[in-house]
Amino acid sequence: MTDRTKRNGARWGAATWVAGVTAVLAALPVAASGRLPERLATHWGDGGSPDDSMPLWAAASFPALIWAVLALSVTFAGRRAGDASGAWVGASLLSGGVLLTGAQASIVRANLDRADWRDAGPVGMEVAITAAAAVAAAVLGWLAGRRAVPAAAPVRPAAGDVMEIPPGERRVWLSRTSNPWLHLTAALMGLPAAAAAVAAAAGLIGPRWELIVPFAIASLAVLACSSVRARVTEAGLEVSFGPLGRPARRWTPGDIVSARAETRTPAQVGGWGYRLGGRGTTVMLRAGECLVIHPRKGSEFAVSVDDAERGAALLNALCAQQRSST
């Protein structure tokens, strides 16, 4: 997968997040309008009592407008900064969306079934939970963004299946692939869970765990299979999954008999994602070149990454060094 495709996938993911948060911010007060007063309490004083309010239309549109301005500003600044901006852009968009969505849900919940905005309930606990969730989202966005930064171009190996490594040198090979369609699928599968969770936080419905849990698990499972990073070092091969690199599989050079590059397609391995079949295990994110290892124990393992031939050559060299030293 090319860098352009990866960037397009990240942009689509960010656009989906921005649009989803905008829709939730604007729709949440409107959806509960039949149970809300004409004006909503939107600010609480030091004593925990509401001291300011907005009409319902303003309470719906003002946070959405703030979010739109924030998202556009962060996106514009990130594009000017280039690839190195991925970490802080992800942290800003995730934390900002979680913070505003949590605040909007807290406001709706505090005003729910009140005749007047001055009778709105306190929001202290909701604010603390929202702040903690926003910090956690910022950390996740930062870590995911740092992992997405393209690696430096590796050193070209000598021709053949085994890389020539001069004495005293150490070489590392790194390749990363992501599938924007699987990212989009994970986002769409997570929308029902997120909508039910926000509605429950706002007090519109009770906790619908039968809706939240299955969709959340499915979304996380697809997300974990939507991107992969393969790294070859003196320690062997490490294949890590998802935007945070968890979970991961590892093989030492002593665990591997040989490695090769091979062209595979989704039709050959049974589809997309983490596939088990007659060819062993294949992590299929895009048709084409795959790094395939033949371990000493178990079936073959393949992962669809770019520059697989170079990775296999380095891995074969490390395996040969391991055999010669034992």
The first and second tokens of residue 91, run together, are 């942290």
Greater model confidence, 50 or 231: 231
**pLDDT score recorded for residue 178:** 83
Q: Which value, to the nearest 10 degrees, does the dihedral of the CA atoms of residues 261, 171, 325, 300 take?
A: -20
pLDDT per residue as tens digits for the range 1-53: 444 545 555 666 677 778 888 888 888 888 888 888 888 888 888 777 888 88
**pLDDT score recorded for residue 152:** 39
The single-letter DSSP state of residue 161 is S
**pLDDT score recorded for residue 145:** 63
State the average pLDDT over residues 215-224. 84
State the average pLDDT over residues 53-59. 87
Which residues are 251's β-sheet partners?
A: 237
The first and second tokens of residue 4, run together, are 């352009």
Summary mean pLDDT of the chain = 80
State the average pLDDT over residues 133-159. 59
Q: Say if residue 139's pLDDT is above 60.
A: yes
pLDDT per residue as tens digits for the range 93-104: 888 888 888 888
Greater model confidence, 318 or 13: 318
Computed on alpha carbons and rounded to an integer, the radius of gyration of the chain in Å comes to 25
pTM over 0.75: no
Q: What angle do CA 267, 227, 151 make, to 5 degrees?
A: 120
Helix and strand element counts for the chain (H, E)? 8, 11
pLDDT per residue as tens digits for the range 70-89: 888 877 776 665 554 566 67
